[in-house]
Amino acid sequence: MTDTVRHPPGPLIEIEGLRKTYNAGLPSEVEVLHGLALRVDAGEFIALMGPSGSGKSTLLNILGLLERMSAGSYRLQGEPVQHLDDTGLTLRRRQSLGFVFQFHHLLPAFSALENVTLPALMADGRVGPRQLARARELLDAVGLAHAMHRRPSELSGGMQQRVAIARALVMSPPLVLADEPTGNLDTASSDEVFGLLRRMHAERGVSFVVVTHDPRLAARCDRLVELVDGKIAHDGPIVA
Amino acid sequence: MTAWLGFETRVAMRFLREGRMQTVLIMVGVAAGVAVIVYISALISGLQANTLAKTLGAQAHITLRSLEDTVLPAAERAPGELALSEAQPRAQRLRSVQNWQPLMRQLEQLPAVAGVSPMVAGAGLALRGEATQSISLMGVDLERYDRIVGLGAKVVSGTARLAPGEAIVGRDLAADLGVRVGDRFTVQTAAATDTVRVTALVDLGVRELNQRTVFVPLRAAQSLLELPGGATTIDLSLHDVWAAQALADTLRERFPYQVESWQENNAQLLSALNAQSVSTSVIRAVVLVVVVLGIASVLVVSVVQKSREIGILRAMGATRGQILRVFLLQGAVVGSVGSVAGLLLAALLIALFTTLVRGSDGLPLFNITLEPVLALQVALLATVCGVLAAIAPARRAAAMDPAQAIRA
C-alpha cells in the first residue's frame, strides 16, 4: 500500500530579487547571491548545479528556511515567509519541507524506524499508529523492511541514505530538498539512491530540488538550474 | 493531542544513553556530592543534638532567682555636684524567690512551659568516716524535678526516690565517699547537720556535677540551708528548647527576678555550635557549586559533540524551545538519578558510622539518622541544580544556527 498525498498543482516556491550577503557592514562583507529569481512548481524534479562556491548550498539553505535572505521576496506555497520569526520558519519547515543531506545525518542513537518517526514525534510528542504504519511503509518502499530496527552504524552508506529519504517523506511534504544526496556514495549506490528519488517523485508526486555535481545524474532530472558566481547562468528543461 | 515532552524526553534519554561513560561519571559525581552533603548534615545535626541533650540534660531551660543584693548610695548626688565615692560590693546571702508558690502556678499556665520545679540549692560538706567532700546540695520535689532534667533516666544504681532522710548522689561523689545504695553519710552546712541514706546513684553526664551533687527532699534542704518555706531558684523546662531566650526576655520584663536562659549560661557552646553550622553550610554550598559545574561541563561537551545532530533536528522541524528542553531534561535526569544514588550512599555511610564508630562502652558515640525531610530537600536541591547547570549548555544548543550546525 502506498499512502500517497497528492499535492495540488501550482507554484511551490516563488523567489524574486534574492540577495544573500555575509558579514554585512564589515570590511569582509561579501554578497554570494545576486538578485536571483526562481520558481519551482509542484511535481518538478530539478537539478541544481554549479561549481564550488557558486552559492548552491546557500540557495538550498534559503529555500529550506535554514538561512534568511538579505533582500528579496520568498513565497512558499503562496505564503510570504521572509518575515517569519524563528519559530514560524521552523513550523513551516516541519510542515512543507523534507531534507536529504550528503552525509545522511541520521541520529546514531535511534534505529532506522525511530529515525523515520522522529519528525512525527517532534510534531505531536508521540508516534501514533498511523504515523508508525506510514514510517514502516516508507522503509518498505525504500527496500529496508528487513533493517528497520538496526542502528545507522549497522547500515551501509546507501542504506543510510535510503533511511534519510524515508525520513524526508514521512510528513508528506510537497517538496524535498536534497544536498548532494549521492555525493558520499559509490557509483552503484548513487544510481540506486537516485533511482529511488525518481521513483518517489513518480509514485508520490513529491517535488525535488537536488544539488549535484554529477552531470550523469543531473541528466536524469527534468529541469536544470545552473548557478555561476551567485547568478543563475542557465535554467531550462533537460532534453534527453 | 500533543504528548507533553514526548519528543524531548525520548531524545534526552537517548543522548544520555549514547554518552554512557560521560553520563555514568557525572551521575557518580552528583551522587558523591549528595552523599557528602547528606552525611555531613546528618553527622553534624546528630553531634549537635547529642551535645545539646548532654548539656540540657543536667540543667533547666530557664532559671529564675531573686535579684542580687546591691549597695545603694547613701544620698543621691545633686545635679552639678561632684561626688567621689567607693562602694564595697556586698557578700551575697542565700535568699528565697519571693512568692515563689503563686509564681510557679502562673508559670505553669504559659503554653511554652513543659515543667516548673522549685529548688533550694546551696553549698555544704559530705562526711563519711575520714572522707570529707564539698558538695552542691540541691533540695527538690523529685516528681517536678524529673520533668526538668529527667533524673530517673540518669540513675545508674538504685531507685530514684526522695523520702525524708533520703538522698540521690552523683556517681563520682559516691565513689569518693565510698558509699553505695542503702549506705548513710552526713551532710553538713553552715547552719545544720543531718544524716541521709543513699537511694540512687546518678550519672549527670558531666564529671564535675557527678563529683559534687547531692539531691535531697525540698524540705530537708530548706532546713539544712536555713531557708524555711523558701526556694532559691525556680527551674523551667520548655517544649521547644530554642524558645528559651525569647521567653526569658519576656519573663525578665514581667517579673522582678533574675532570669537566665540556657543559651545565656552556655554562650560559648552556642557559638561553637553556630560555627559548626556555618562550616557545614559552607561545605554544602561548595559541594553544590562543584556538582553544578560538573553537570554543566559535561553538558557543554555534549552540546559540542552533538552539534550536527542538533542541526539535523532543527532542520527537521525541532523548535529552539524543544532543543532547550532536551538539554534541561538531561540536567534534571542527571541531578535526580544522581541524588537517589547519593541518598543510598549516604544511608550506607550512616550505617557504617553507626556500626563501626563506637565509644569505650561499646555503644554508638551518638545517634545519627537520615531524616526523610533532609533527604528530600537535598534530592530536590540537586535536581534543581541539575536543571540550573543545564541552562547555559541548553541555551547554547538552542541558539545554534541549523545550517552551520549541519556543516560542522
For A41-63, what is the mean pLDDT? 91
C-beta atoms of A93 and B5 within 8 A: no
Instruction: Report ipTM (2 d.p.).
Output: 0.87
Q: How far apart are CA B308 and CA B314, in angstroms?
A: 10
Total domains in chain A come to: 1
- Is the pLDDT at A9 greater than 80? The verdict is no
Nearest chain A CA: its distance from B300 CA (Å): 19
Q: What is the pLDDT of residue A97?
A: 94
All 3 cell numbers of residue A25? 557592514
Q: Give the three-state DSSP class for B325.
A: helix
- Is the pLDDT at A7 greater than 80? The verdict is no
Q: What is the pLDDT of residue A190?
A: 86
Q: What is the pLDDT of residue B2?
A: 47
List the domain range (segments joined by +) for residue A101: 11-237
Nearest chain B CA: its distance from A8 CA (Å): 23
In a domain, A193, yes or no: yes
- Is the pLDDT at A214 greater than 90? The verdict is no
Task: Quote the DSSP letter at residue A153.
Answer: G
**Residues B269-312: tens digit of each pLDDT:** 889 888 988 998 999 899 888 888 888 888 888 888 888 888 88
Q: Indicate which CATH number applies to the domain containing A218.
A: 3.40.50.300
In a domain, A6, yes or no: no
In a domain, A187, yes or no: yes
For B373-401, what is the mean pLDDT? 89
- Is the pLDDT at A126 greater than 70? The verdict is yes
For B78-102, what is the mean pLDDT? 79
Per 3-state DSSP, chain A is made up of helix, strand and coil in percentages (nearest 5) of: 35, 25, 40
Angle subtended at Cα B333 by Cα B331 and Cα B339, rounded to the nearest 5 degrees? 100
Per-residue 3-state assignment (H helix, E strand, C coil) for B169-224: EEHHHHHHHCCCCCCEEEEECCCCEEEEEEEEEECCCCHHHHHHEEEEEHHHHHHH
Closest residue in A to B317 (Cα–Cα): A94
The number of residues making up chain B comes to: 408
C-beta atoms of A107 and B3 within 8 A: no
- Is the pLDDT at B137 greater than 60? The verdict is yes
Taking CB atoms and an 8 Å cutoff, what residues of chain A touch B23?
A: none
C-beta atoms of B308 and A110 within 8 A: no
User: Which tops the pLDDT comparison, B89 or B13?
Assistant: B13
pLDDT band of B346, cuts 50, 70, 90: very high
Taking CB atoms and an 8 Å cutoff, what residues of chain A touch B315?
A: 64, 66, 93, 99
Q: What is the pLDDT of residue B187?
A: 94
**Residues B352-375: tens digit of each pLDDT:** 988 888 777 677 777 788 888 988
Q: For residue A46, how many C-alpha atoms fall within 13 Å in the half-sphere facing its CB? A: 24
Q: How far apart are CA A30 and CA B213, in angstroms?
A: 96
For B383-400, what is the mean pLDDT? 90
Are B26 and B300 within 8 A, CB to CB?
A: no
For A228-234, what is the mean pLDDT? 92
All 3 cell numbers of residue B309? 545532530
The pLDDT mean for chain B works out to 88
C-beta atoms of B320 and A93 within 8 A: no
In a domain, A162, yes or no: yes
Q: Which residue is associated with the grid cell 555534549? A: B302
Nearest chain A CA: its distance from B385 CA (Å): 26
Q: What is the pLDDT of residue B50?
A: 84
pLDDT band of A6, cuts 50, 70, 90: low
B157 near A CB under 8 A: no
- Is the pLDDT at A184 greater than 80? The verdict is no
In a domain, A3, yes or no: no
**Residues B257-281: tens digit of each pLDDT:** 999 999 888 888 889 888 988 998 9
In a domain, A5, yes or no: no
- Is the pLDDT at A1 greater than 50? The verdict is no
- Is the pLDDT at A5 greater than 70? The verdict is no
Q: How far apart are CA B125 and CA B137, in angstroms?
A: 9
Q: How far apart are CA B67 and CA B252, in angstroms?
A: 11
B308 near A CB under 8 A: yes
**Residues B158-172: tens digit of each pLDDT:** 999 999 999 999 999
C-beta atoms of A99 and B17 within 8 A: no
Q: How far apart are CA B115 and CA B399, in angstroms?
A: 66
pLDDT band of A4, cuts 50, 70, 90: low
B318 near A CB under 8 A: yes
Neighbouring C-beta atoms of residue B285, cutoff 10 Å? 11
